[in-house]
Amino acid sequence: MSVLTRPKGLSGAAGPAAPAGRAKRMRTWTPYAFLAPYLALFAVFMVLPIGFGFWTSLHEWDINLPAKPFVGLENYTDLFDPSSVDGGRFWTAMRATGVFTLFSVPLLIVLPLLAALLMNGRFRGRNLYRAVYFAPYVLGVAVVGFLWRFLLDGNIGLVNHYLGLEVQWTTDVPPAWVALIGVTVWWTLGLNAVIFLAGLQDIPRELYEAAMVDGASAWRRFRAVTLPGLRPVTVFVINATILASANMFGQSYLITAGAPADQTKTAIYLIAETGLRQFDMGTASAMSFILAAFLMAASALVFGAFRDRSRR
Amino acid sequence: MTSSFSRRSFLGLTGAAGLTAALAACGGGTKIGSGSSAPASAAPTFSGGEYTGPKVTLDYWNGFTGGDGPHMRAMVEAFNKEFSGRIEVRNVTRRWEDLYPAMPTAISAGKGPDVAVIHNDWVGTFAARQTLIPLDDVVGALELSDADFIPAVWNAGVLDGRRYSVPLDVHSLADYWNKKHLEKIGLSDAPTDKESYEKALVGLKDAGIATPFWMPNKWPAHLMFMSLLWQHGGELYSEDGAKALWGSEQGVQALSWMVEQIDKGFSPAKVAIDTQYAAFKNDKVSFTWDGIWQINDLKANAKSLEWGLSPVPNIGGTPAVWSASHNFVLTSQAGKDPNKVQAAKVFIDSMGRQSTEWAKAGMIPARNSARQDPAVADLPQVRMAQDVSIFHFLPALPGVGDVQSKALELAVAKAVLKESSPAEALKEGVATADKLLADNKRKYGR
């Protein structure tokens, strides 16, 4: 309501407050009062858990053991020591997460964009087509995982049977990566496509008409109108996809179970296993903080890359 | 306007206060685990017989999700009927691999089991975690004695001089075989030693079964490895639990034999999890080693398959096979209420007496005397237990489960998948295992 019409007196907060009327409403704590509801939620559900997680990571914190000795940064130094048990396992898992993210993100950007461009056209059965692309996304990860584990099995699976192949999709690398990335693309392509489609429909038709009047070819219109128009959507999609890919857990848990020999065991998989199966919350929290640092850096890079371009 | 603003700020503040209160409540909840070692000293000693306290409800957790589940449910229902109005047992069945991680946390939150069934190799870990409370008096009332049990099963329940578990059954790895396939090469039973087993595999291959014996890299690969290790005369862990011994020469021989089955073409390479069993059900595999608990699954879900069950063949020289046992335990959650402790002891006592009924679920009764009962003596799995000295068990070291999954199982998987040679995989695995064992010693303070 009146937030937009800020009284001028506010900037002179040090001066004597107006004795009465509207100006009196604005005190130094006014902005904090407006912030409070969100701040409370943010503090309760973000700041405190993160702080508690960090505190945990400084201890040898086993859920059920009464003694939780303070070990300082030992959990972290252990993870950075490749000869320690958890260090070796952790960096294998980080590598797995890296490989998966590196190869799945480009596919999960380009393919949904192409699908969205097709879906944006006018043709018969368009709604059916849109539904078909989105359909796998409504399945839960358990359904997707079990379905593909059996379809992809190297010795008794239908995929090898019908294609006449002898590829071990679930127990050998690199085929396991092809399988995991393929399944993930099939499963989540619809979501990114729908976001791109919404972005496409937001681009004003007049821009295309103007470009056509100027004699721009279809490719040129795509480069000069569609892509720039999609920029804000693309930043969002890339970031969300990187985070989603880096958090991959269900697919490798269900389809490969980390095979061969933990090479497809991702960081989140290992964190869940360490914290919730072996109850080693201290190490698991330390792992989470290192993973979070990597993800923040990746997000910063993406935002940085797109910001530079928009300043051109 | 002024009044509306202050009202809203007031609402915001109350909201924040409410959240803070909720948070404080949560904080209290997570702390319970730190001091949950309520001893059962308040409960009177159990001496068998009747339960006389007020009505209680017991939460009972187990992992009998397979063909054994219906038998356990029937036993619980019978118990509930008998004690109707006094003790009600709520049966919660979930997969073992979900049950173990959930149990300690659920118990410290007060939402776990009062009484549960767990495997012998977990008793030590859970007892050290103060998740369990001792049961010495139940064992006394049941008139159980070590003479009637396989020593390894009996001793697994003891930590620092106190007994934490009552054994229910024993189960082991077994050799399942396809009757029709073996008929092709003129066999009516599974071969029992290395020479004849390998000869049978060659014969089966010649008879048109391309890959008669699939070698898994995950479950039950580590159970096969341990069985073979013991057969060759090797040991898993040192007596004091400080050193892993499975990287020995015997270990290399055991693991090499597993890898050999792939090299000789009896198994396809890189078999995925559970595939060997699925292929056996679908008539593609002649031999597969799996737990005896699969008996009921094969009966129910592979009706057209003709199969036989034999002891695991003696490959290494001394007959030996991986085994485990199911054990009743009483949790520290029940320990907070003396009546629950009493009721749970009555329950364990009553279930322990039904071991013949339980044998029909595909298990081997843990008590030597129960195995001689004519009602069960002819069950195929019970016949396998004629010589119980071949049964070998994981030691009940606290934290041994972590060592197994982080080191031994990984080493077996690496060798079977040909990521490294058996000797290298075991060497690397043992180095990891020794570090973990040292960690566990410190962590569980023994």
Instruction: Supply the pLDDT for residue A308.
Output: 57
- The Cα–Cα gap between B442 and B399 comes to 11
Print the SS3 string covering B151-190: HHHHHHCEECCEECCEEEEEEEEEEEEEHHHHHHCCCCCC
Looking at the complex, does the CB of residue B163 fall below 8 Å from at least one CB of chain A? Answer: no
| Residues of A at the B interface, defined by Cβ within 8 angstroms | 2, 22, 24-25, 33, 36-37, 40-41, 44, 48, 60, 62-68, 84-85, 88-89, 149, 153-156, 168, 170-172, 257, 259-262, 276-279
Contact check, Cβ <8 Å, B217/A171: yes
Instruction: Supply the pLDDT for residue B49.
Output: 63
For B58, phi then psi, to 5°, come to -110, 135
Q: Which residue of B has its CA nearest to A175?
A: B270
Task: Choose the weakest-confidence range: A60-69, A194-203, B56-65, B210-219.
Answer: A60-69
Mean pLDDT, residues A52-63 taken together: 91
Mean pLDDT, residues A70-76 taken together: 92
H or E stretch covering A171: none
Gap from B327 CA to chain A (nearest CA, Å): 21
Is A178 a domain residue? yes
What is the interface size between A and B, counted as CB pairs within 8 Å?
119
- The Cα–Cα gap between B237 and B232 comes to 15
Higher pLDDT, A121 or B437: B437
Q: Residue ranges of chain B with pLDDT lower than 70?
A: 1-45, 47-49, 446
Instruction: Supply the pLDDT for residue A95.
Output: 94
Instruction: Supply the pLDDT for residue A309.
Output: 55
| Cβ atoms of residues B12 and A37 within 8 Å | yes
H or E stretch covering B290: strand B287-291
Instruction: Supply the pLDDT for residue A167.
Output: 86
Q: Which residues of B touch A63 (CB under 8 A)?
A: 33, 104-105, 108
Is A99 a domain residue? yes
The interface residues of chain B toward chain A in range 97-116, judged by CB-CB distance below 8 A, are 100-101, 104-105, 108
- The Cα–Cα gap between A284 and A271 comes to 5
Q: Which residue of A has its CA nearest to B2?
A: A25
Contact check, Cβ <8 Å, B413/A68: no
pLDDT band at A147 (very low <50, low <70, confident <90, very high): very high
Contact check, Cβ <8 Å, A259/B15: no
Gap from B405 CA to chain A (nearest CA, Å): 10
Gap from B402 CA to chain A (nearest CA, Å): 7
CATH number of the domain where residue A198 is located: 1.10.3720.10
Q: Which residues pair with B167 in a beta bridge?
A: B327
Please list the helix, strand and coil fractions of chain A in percent, rounded to the nearest 5, in that order.
70, 0, 25
Q: Which residue of B has its CA nearest to A272?
A: B101
Q: How many domains does chain A have?
A: 1
CA dihedral B269, B270, B274, B277 (to 10 degrees): 0
Task: Choose the weakest-confidence range: A169-178, A194-203, B39-48.
Answer: B39-48
Looking at the complex, does the CB of residue B6 fall below 8 Å from at least one CB of chain A? Answer: no
If phi over 0 gives left and psi between -120 and 50 gives alpha, with beta otherwise, what is residue A132? alpha
**Most A CBs within 10 Å, among B23, B275, B276, B405, to test the A interface:** B275
Is residue A171 over pLDDT 80? yes
Gap from B206 CA to chain A (nearest CA, Å): 20
Contact check, Cβ <8 Å, A154/B101: no
- Residue B198: what residue type? E
Q: Which of B365, B37, B318 is nearest to B169 (CA)?
A: B365
Is A73 a domain residue? no
| Distance in angstroms between the alpha carbons of the first and the last residue of chain A | 37
Q: Which of A288, A246, A51, A253 is nearest to A170 (CA)?
A: A253
Contact check, Cβ <8 Å, A276/B214: no
Is A49 a domain residue? no
Q: Which residues of A touch B131 (CB under 8 A)?
A: 64
Q: Which residues of B touch A278 (CB under 8 A)?
A: 402
Paired tokens of B308: 């036989």
**Most B CBs within 10 Å, among A149, A156, A283, to test the B interface:** A156
Instruction: Supply the pLDDT for residue B248.
Output: 96
Is A310 a domain residue? no
Q: What letters, b where the CB count within 10 A reaches 16 and e where it falls short, cover B240-259?
A: ebeebbbbbebbbbbbbbbb
Q: What angle do CA A136, A138, A141 make, to 5 degrees?
A: 80
Contact check, Cβ <8 Å, A64/B406: no
Q: Is B219 exposed, middle or buried (0-12, 13-18, 19+ CB in 10 A)?
A: middle
Domain range for A273 is 94-305
Q: Which residues of A touch B35 (CB under 8 A)?
A: 66
